[in-house]
Amino acid sequence: MNSQISLFSSIQLGNVPLKNRIVMAPMTRNRAEKGNVAGELIRKYYTQRAGAGLIITEGSQISSQGVGYPNTPGIYSEAQIAGWRKVVDSIHAAGGRVFIQLWHVGRISHPSLQPNGALPVAPSAIQPAGETVTYQGMQPFVTPHALELNEIQSIIEQYRQAARNAQAAGFDGAEIHAANGYLIDQFLRDKTNHRDDHYGGSIENRTRFLIEVVEAVVTAWAPGNIGVRLSPENTFNDIADSNPQATFNTACEKLGKYGLAYLHILEGVMLQHGKHRLDYRQFSDRFGGLYLANNGYTRQSAQAAICEHRADLVAFGIPFIANPDLVERFKRNAPLNEADRATFYGGDEHGYTDYPFLDKQQV
C-alpha cells in the first residue's frame, strides 16, 4: 500500500481541483419543484454535503422527452438553469465542487410523463418488464418508439445544449449518465439494442451513440470538465448484455481517447456489494485516466482501494443521504446515521435535510 495517499488527499480531477477523494454519488430524490426546477430544498440538501471532494447531482433531464420520474430536475429550461445556479452558488460558497449528471431515461418512462402523451423512445421497440412510477401511481412500462436516425441526432444535440446550460448555471462540470438501463445504456447492451443499422449489432456499432454524445458534449465544454458513468453488469431496469466484458472494454478504450476528467463505474449490481463477475481493472486500464469506483464501499474498503491504486476516487450513495457531514465522520471514524429508506424518493425535508450533524451544525 502507498500510505502517502488516502481518501482525504487532494486530487486534480481534469480541470477541477478537489480537496479530497470522497465523492457524493448521483441519487434520484424526487424533490424538484413545479417545472422540474431545483428549488430551495435541493439547494439546502446539496449545500449541507459540500464537504465532499465532489458532488455529482441526481440525474437531470436534458429535455422534456428525457423525463422518467415525477419531480426530478431538468437542465433544459431557463427556469431550471436559474434554479440550479442558486444551488451551485451555495455549494461553491460552502467550499464544495459540483458536477451535474446529464440524463435521458429512454424507454424507462411512461406516456403520462412525456410531452403530448407520446411514447418513450429507445434504440429498439422492446418493452421493459415491470412498472414505473408516475404522478398517477405505478403503471406498466409500455413498448417504446424505436428512434429514427434523425431523432438520434436530435437527442445528441440535446446533450450538447444541456452541457452549455450546465455551464451557464455555474457547474464545475458534467457527468454523462450512460448507466443503469437508461437511454445510452440501452444502446450499449444487446438485450435492448436490436437495431440493424450503424447503431446496432456489433460492439463497435452499439458504442457509437455513447461516443457521439461524448463528442458533442466536449465541443460545448472542455473534456477535463466531463465524466462518464457506466454500469457494465448492473441489471436495473431490465437490462443485460451477452458479453459485458468485451462490450465495456471497447467502450472504455474509446472513452480514453478524449481526455475526460474521469470514468465513473458502478461495480457489480446495485445492492449486491462486492459480487463481481467482471474484471473492473480492465475497464480502468483501457480508459487510462482517473477511475471513480462506486457501489457499497465503506470507509475501510474505500481507503484500501485508494492506497492499492484500484481507484483514484470513491463515490458513496446512501451514506451521504443519511450523513451530510460524511467526510468529517470518516475523518473521525465516527458512527454513521442510519438512512430512512421510506423517504428516499419524494416528500419534504424529512429524511432529506433533517439528518443530524456530529456537531449539530446546520446549513
- Max Cα-Cα span within the chain: 59
Distance, in Å, from the CA atom of 22 to the CA atom of 117, rounded to the nearest integer, reads 41
In 10 A of CB 13, how many CB atoms?
26
Say if residues 275 and 267 touch (Cβ distance below 8 Å). Answer: no
In 10 A of CB 12, how many CB atoms?
11
* Residue in 46, 69, 76, 182 annotated catalytic: 182
**DSSP strands (E only) in the chain:** 11-13, 16-18, 22-24, 54-61, 98-103, 121-122, 131-134, 137-140, 145-146, 173-177, 226-230, 262-266, 291-294, 313-316
* Helix%, strand%, coil% for the chain, nearest 5: 35, 15, 50
Here the cell at position 90 is: 451555495
Question: Would residue 280 show up in a list of annotated catalytic residues for this protein?
Answer: no
Residue 116 CB contacts under 8 Å (≥ 6 apart), including other chains: none
> Catalytic positions, please?
182
